[in-house]
Structure 1
Amino acid sequence: MSSSPRIAILDDYQGVALTLGDWSALQGKVQIDVYQDTLLDEGALVERLKPYGIICTMRERTKITTQLLDKLPNLKLITTTGPVNRGIDIEAASAKGIPVVGSPGAGNHTFEHIWALIFAVARGIVIEDANVKAGNPQWQSIIPVGLKGKTLSLLGVGRLGSQVAQVAKLFGLRVLAWSPNLTKERADAAGVEFASSKEELLKQADLFSIHVVLAPSTRHLITKEDLALLKPTALFFNTSRGPIVDEVALVETLSEGRIAGAGLDVYDIEPLPLDHPLRKLRNVVLSPHNAYVGDDCYKVWWNDTAATVTAYIEGREINPKFILKA
C-alpha cells in the first residue's frame, strides 16, 4: 500500500486488544486508536469513525449498518472477532469493495456461562454474596432451589442446547425441548423429550432457557402471553439474544413477581442503559453479554485480527477462509 490507513479498535471493554494480539510488525508504522466504549448515537459514531481506513470490531457490539457505511468514505477493511457477526451488513460492505474478515472461535464459554447463571440464580449466590459483604446480620436469607427432579425447558436444541441438556441430566433434571423447527426425531437424537407445542414447553418449565438464534422469525418469539404460562416458581434464562423475548413484558413479569427469577446476559439495547429497570430488580442476575468471552478466545481473536491487519497493510493476501460472506 502506498500509505497506511488509520486503525480503530472498537468496543475493547477490558482494554486488552493491543496486549493480547501481536501488533509488533506495525509498531511505529501506523496509528492505532482503541475505544473502550460503545457509541449508540449514529451521528457521534460517524464523527468518530470517519478518519479510519480500518475498523476492528468485537463481535456484535457496534453495529456496522448500510447507513453507517455510506458515511465512511475512507473505510477499506473491517475485521471482526469470531467467525460470524450479524451486526455488520456484510452484503453492503462487499458491494463497496470492503472485505469483512473474521476469526475462528476458541473455547466454549457460552456453555460454561449458561450453567454459571443457572447456579447463580438457583442457589441465590449473588444475593447472599451481597449480604455477607454488606455485613448483614441475617446469616442466610433465601432458600436455594434444588435441581434434581425439576424440568428444564429448552427453547432450541442445537449445539449449545444439546450440550446444556447433557449436563442437565447429570444433575437429575428432566429436559424438555421445543422450537419452531424442532422435530421429534431431532429431539430424540439430542436425548431430550419433545414438547408438542411452545405452550407445553412453558407450562412444564421449572427452568426455561433460550437457545435459538435471532432472526425475523424468532424476534419476540416469547411474548407477554407466553411468559404468563410459566409457573410462579419458574426461573428464566437468556444467553442468546435479547429481542427473542418481549423485554418490556419480561421486566413486568419479574417486577410483579409472576416468576421467581431470571439470569440474563443479553438485552434489547447493549450496553444496558444505566436507568434500565432490569438494573433495579433483586430477583435477576445480570451479566454484560460476556457469555462468549474467555482468555483463550480473546488471544486467538486479537492475534488473528492483528495478523489480518498486518497482511493488509503490507499488501499481502488475506486468508480467504476468514473473509465473511453475506
Structure 2
Amino acid sequence: MKIAVLDDYALASPRLADWPELGDVTVFQDTITGTDLVDRLRPFDVICLMRERTPMGADLIAQLPNLRLIVTSGPRNASIDLPAARAAGITVCGTQSRKTTTSELTTLMMLALNRRLLPEVANLSAGGWQSGLGRDVAGLTLGLIGLGNIGAQMAVIGKALGMDIVAWSPNLTHARCTELDVARAENLTDLMARADVASVHMVLSDRSKGLVDAAAFAAAKQGQVFINTSRGPLVDTGALLDGLLAGKPAMAGLDVFDVEPLPLDDPLRDPDLIASGQLLLTPHLGYTTEATFRLFYTQTVEAIRAYQAGTPIREL
C-alpha cells in the first residue's frame, strides 16, 4: 500500500508516530496545486491530510484512480468533497483534536501586540532601548466574534486577565452569553465599536465568508487590536489593510490567510506595517504544537491500520 503524508512542513510525522509496516510511506513537506498535485498523488492508495492545507475536491478525487483511503487530521475537514469520495468508493476517516492550542496563541498575540513586544525586541536588537509604551489589557474590553469552544476559552482567559467580555455572532443567543457571563453585542459594528481587542473565532462557511468587512473596520474603537486565528476568508483582507492605513484597527495579528502558505507577493507582507509593529503575521501556528501533532499522526496511523484490518474507525 502506497501512503502519502501531505503538507508536513516541519517533517514531524516520522518522529511522532510509528509508520513502519503500514506500507510504502512518502512524506511531502511542500504544498503544490494543479496538474503537479495530480501527478504527485496519482500513485497513492492512501492520502493523509493535515487539516485543509491541501483541499480534496471532486475534480482532484476523480483524477486519482488508485485512491482508497483519505485520513484527515481533526474530526472534520470542509475541504474534502465527501459525496465525491463516497461515490468513488473512497473511505474518509478523521482524528480527534485538542481544544486549547488556538486560544493560547490568540492570547500570545493579544499580549504581544498590546505590549509592543516585537518592535521593542527589534529596537533592542538594533542597539536601542525602550522606544514606546505598551498597553495593559486589564480593564480593556475583549470582543469575541464567535462564542463556540475557542471563543468560550478566550472569555475565560480574558476575565482572568481582568478584561470585560462582549461577544457577537449571527446565531449567538442571550442564553449562551448568560451561561458564560459575557455581554452580548447587538451586531458586529456594535461589537467593533466597543472592543479594545476584537478576536475572530467562527467557522468558515458561505455565509460567514468576508463577514468582517470595511463597515466593521470603520466602526472599530480607537486603538483597537484586531486578531484572526480562525480562518483567513472570514475577514476582507483589502478592507483590513485599508483600515490599518487609516488607523482602524490600530494593530492586527493574523495567523490565517486566504491562501496558505502566504504568497511572497501578498499585500499583507507590507514591510512598513510589519516593521512598525502595526501588523503581526504568524504562519498558521494556532494548532501546530507537539502534543497536537502527536495526536494527529498517532491516530492517522491507527486509522490506516484499522482500514487495512477491514474495520475503519472515525469515518466522516
Q: Which range, TM-score by smaller chain?
A: over 0.9
**Alignment of 1:316 onto 2:286:** no
Equivalent residues of 1:237, 1:263 under 8 A apart:
yes
Cα distance in 2 for residues equivalent to 1:290 and 1:259 = 22
Cα distance in 2 for residues equivalent to 1:253 and 1:196 = 22
Q: Which runs of 5+ in 1 are unaligned?
A: none
Identity %: 40
Tell me which residue corresponds to 2:282: 287
**Alignment of 1:296 onto 2:294:** no
Equivalent residues of 2:223, 2:247 under 8 A apart:
no
Which residue of 137, 140, 148 corresponds with 1:158?
Answer: 148
Higher mean C-alpha displacement, 237-246 vs 280-289: 280-289
Cα distance in 2 for residues equivalent to 1:108 and 1:232 = 30
Q: After superposition, where does 1:32-181 map in structure 2 within 5 Å?
A: 32-39=25-32, 41-106=33-98, 108-133=100-125, 135-137=126-128, 139-181=129-171
Counterpart amino acid of residue 231 in structure 2: R
How far apart are residue 21 of structure 1 and its match? Answer: 0.7
Equivalent residues of 1:107, 1:294 under 8 A apart:
no
Cα distance in 2 for residues equivalent to 1:277 and 1:141 = 27
Cα distance in 2 for residues equivalent to 1:64 and 1:142 = 47
1:165-184 CA-partner distances (Å, limit 9, x unpaired): 11211222111111111122
Cα distance in 2 for residues equivalent to 1:152 and 1:204 = 9
Equivalent residues of 1:25, 1:310 under 8 A apart:
no
Equivalent residues of 1:176, 1:194 under 8 A apart:
yes
Q: Which runs of 5+ in 2 are unaligned?
A: none
**Alignment of 1:264 onto 2:254:** yes
How far apart are residue 285 of structure 1 and its match? Answer: 1.1
Counterpart amino acid of residue 34 in structure 1: V
Equivalent residues of 1:232, 1:260 under 8 A apart:
yes
1:171-217 CA-partner distances (Å, limit 9, x unpaired): 22111111111122221111101112222111111110111111111
Tell me which stretches of 4 or more aligned residues in structure 1 moved more than 4 Å: none
**Alignment of 1:24 onto 2:20:** yes
CA RMSD of aligned residues (A): 1.4
Q: What is the TM-score with the length of structure 2 in the denominator? A: 0.94
Query: When the two structures are aligned, how many residues end up with a matched partner?
Result: 311
**Alignment of 1:228 onto 2:224:** no
How far apart are residue 275 of structure 1 and its match? Answer: 1.4
Cα distance in 1 for residues equivalent to 2:14 and 2:307 = 17
Which residue of 192, 205, 228 corresponds with 1:215?
Answer: 205
1:257-279 CA-partner distances (Å, limit 9, x unpaired): 33210111111111111111222
1:8-42 CA-partner distances (Å, limit 9, x unpaired): 1100010011111111333xxx3211110111x32
